[in-house]
């Protein structure tokens, strides 16, 4: 007989009642899920599972619903949902993402305790749309470099500096709830990039990480939709509220994480630069310069220059940037 279900799924939702309905339908067929916490981030039409016809009985899991009076972003919604979790394990999932059949197998094997979180593989809808099955190429390379193989194993210490650089999260980790609560690890309450802090500090604070190469979820991205990932406004500049505590933790964690964090941050700046509206580019470049100057000690920069001269060159270019007024 299988042990009783013991997993909460926290779902922030914003103007996606249709996606939430699809996800709840799927959850109702997954016996490992014991609690569903939906936090509606002030959708124009409330996405309340009960008014959509869902009950705990139909779902096969406890159902908790909360609604933010005003839009606060997925980070706030996730933190609010986490506070309501009663299960020993928790997964943050998005309303438009999907589980694969591998998820049930993963949960059947995952222990209830004795670990801090379990990272599992995922497929990205853009890769699936092109006939593949896996994450975006950059994350795929990190998985390959980490040498992860097998349905469920301890994450080797050497794999941590690789996998901490993954760009896709947080729906690919099952956390031990008390790990998050005891370490105070949570999302940044900003409109975008809210999960950077959750991801990086989880890796840096966890003592015992499990990893699975099971593709247990599909991350669905609508590149032309209105979801927060596609935002291009000033809210993007709030990313530094997430990056600054991570930079401090990386500095304390030792040299193994200097280069991974520099690579991650520079890739994020590059990606976000393409998202941000042109009128914000100068403000963004100013914030990047200040962040790098604060985060990188001369010793850290020397390590980066030694290991990856091209990255060091690009960091230098960011540090040397001057806006029109400064240049004059």
Partner 1 sequence: MSDPSFAASGAALSPLATTQSLLQSLRDGDLSGEILPEQEILPGLRFVPDPEAGMRGRYASPAGRLLELEVTHAAPARWFGLHLRLDLDELSNLALIGLAARFAARQALPVRPCIRSGTETGFVDSFFDKTIAALPRPLLHLDVIETQGPHPALAAPAPWRELVLFLPTGDFRLDLHDLRVFAA
* Dihedral angle computed from the Cα positions of residues 95, 97, 102 and 105, in that order, rounded to the nearest 10 degrees: -20
DSSP H or E stretch at residue 35: strand 35-40
| Residue 38 C-alpha from the chain's centroid | 17
Q: Does 309 bind partner 1 (CB under 8 A)?
A: no
CA nearest neighbour of 246 among 236, 234, 258: 258
Q: Does 1 bind partner 1 (CB under 8 A)?
A: no
Q: Which residues ranging from 196 to 225 are in contact with partner 1 (CB under 8 A)?
A: 213
- Which range of residues in 70-78, 98-106, 183-191, 237-245 is near partner 1 by CB under 8 A? 98-106
Burial profile 227-259: b = 16 or more Cβ within 10 angstroms, e = fewer:
bbeebeeeebbbbbbbbeebbebbbebeeebbb
Number of helices (H), then strands (E), belonging to the chain: the values are 15, 9
DSSP-assigned states of every residue in 52-89: TT--HHHHTSEEEEEE-SS---HHHHHHHHHHT--SSE
Angle at 219 between CA 84 and CA 231, to 5 degrees: 85
Q: Does 144 bind partner 1 (CB under 8 A)?
A: yes
CA 136/CA 245 separation, integer angstroms: 27
CA 92/CA 31 separation, integer angstroms: 17
CA 52/CA 17 separation, integer angstroms: 8
Q: Does 149 bind partner 1 (CB under 8 A)?
A: yes
CB of 317 to partner 1, least distance (A): 33
With contact defined as beta carbons under 8 Å apart, do 74 and 14 qualify? yes
Q: Which residues ranging from 161 to 180 are in contact with partner 1 (CB under 8 A)?
A: none
Q: Indicate which single residue of 91, 152, 242, 246 sits in contact with partner 1 (rule: CB under 8 A).
A: 152
- Which range of residues in 62-70, 147-155, 177-185, 197-205 is near partner 1 by CB under 8 A? 147-155
| Helix-helix angle 258-275:281-295, to 10 degrees | 170
Q: Indicate which single residue of 108, 158, 277, 290 sits in contact with partner 1 (rule: CB under 8 A).
A: 108
Q: Does 233 bind partner 1 (CB under 8 A)?
A: no
User: CB-wise, 48 or 213, nearer to partner 1?
Assistant: 213
How many residues line the site for partner 1 (CB under 8 A)? Answer: 15
Q: Does 299 bind partner 1 (CB under 8 A)?
A: no
Q: Does 317 bind partner 1 (CB under 8 A)?
A: no
Please compute, for residue 280, the number of CA atoms within 13 A of its CA located in the half-sphere on the CB side: 18
Q: Does 327 bind partner 1 (CB under 8 A)?
A: no
CB of 214 to partner 1, least distance (A): 8
Q: Does 101 bind partner 1 (CB under 8 A)?
A: yes
Q: Does 151 bind partner 1 (CB under 8 A)?
A: yes
Q: Does 102 bind partner 1 (CB under 8 A)?
A: yes
Residues in the chain: 328
Two tokens at 230? 């596609």
Q: Does 150 bind partner 1 (CB under 8 A)?
A: yes
CB of 133 to partner 1, least distance (A): 8
Q: Does 140 bind partner 1 (CB under 8 A)?
A: yes
Q: Does 158 bind partner 1 (CB under 8 A)?
A: no
CB of 108 to partner 1, least distance (A): 5
Q: Which residues lie near partner 1 (CB under 8 A)?
A: 101-102, 105, 108-109, 134, 140, 143-144, 147, 149-152, 213
């Amino acid at each position: 007989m299988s042990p009783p279900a013991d997993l909460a799924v926290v779902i922030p939702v914003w103007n996606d009642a249709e996606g939430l309905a699809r996800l709840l339908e799927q959850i109702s067929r997954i016996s490992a899920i014991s609690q569903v916490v939906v936090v509606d981030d002030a959708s124009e039409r409330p996405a309340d599972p009960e008014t959509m016809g869902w009950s705990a009985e139909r779902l096969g899991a406890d159902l908790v619903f909360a609604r933010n009076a005003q839009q606060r972003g997925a980070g706030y919604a996730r933190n609010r949902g986490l506070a309501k979790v009663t299960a020993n394990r928790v997964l943050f999932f998005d309303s438009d993402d999907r589980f694969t059949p591998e998820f049930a197998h993963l949960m059947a094997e995952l222990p209830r305790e004795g670990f801090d979180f379990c990272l599992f593989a995922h497929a990205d809808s853009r890769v699936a749309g092109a006939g593949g099955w896996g994450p975006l190429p950059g994350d795929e390379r990190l998985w390959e470099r980490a040498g992860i193989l097998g349905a469920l194993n301890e994450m080797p210490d050497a794999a941590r500096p690789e996998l901490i650089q993954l760009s896709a999260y947080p729906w690919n980790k099952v956390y031990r709830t008390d790990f998050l609560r005891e370490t105070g690890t949570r999302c940044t309450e900003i409109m975008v990039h809210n999960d950077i802090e959750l991801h990086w500090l989880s890796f840096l604070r966890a003592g015992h990480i499990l990893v699975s190469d099971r593709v247990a979820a599909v991350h669905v991205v609508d590149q032309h939709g209105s979801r927060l990932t596609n935002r291009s406004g000033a809210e993007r500049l709030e990313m530094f509220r997430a990056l600054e505590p991570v930079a401090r933790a990386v500095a304390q964690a030792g040299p193994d994480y200097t280069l991974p964090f520099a690579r991650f941050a520079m890739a994020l700046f590059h990606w976000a630069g393409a998202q941000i509206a042109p009128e914000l580019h100068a403000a963004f470049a100013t914030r990047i310069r200040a962040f790098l100057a604060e985060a990188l000690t001369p010793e850290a920069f020397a390590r980066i220059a030694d290991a990856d001269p091209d990255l060091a060159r690009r960091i230098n270019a960011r540090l040397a940037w001057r806006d029109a007024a400064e240049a004059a």
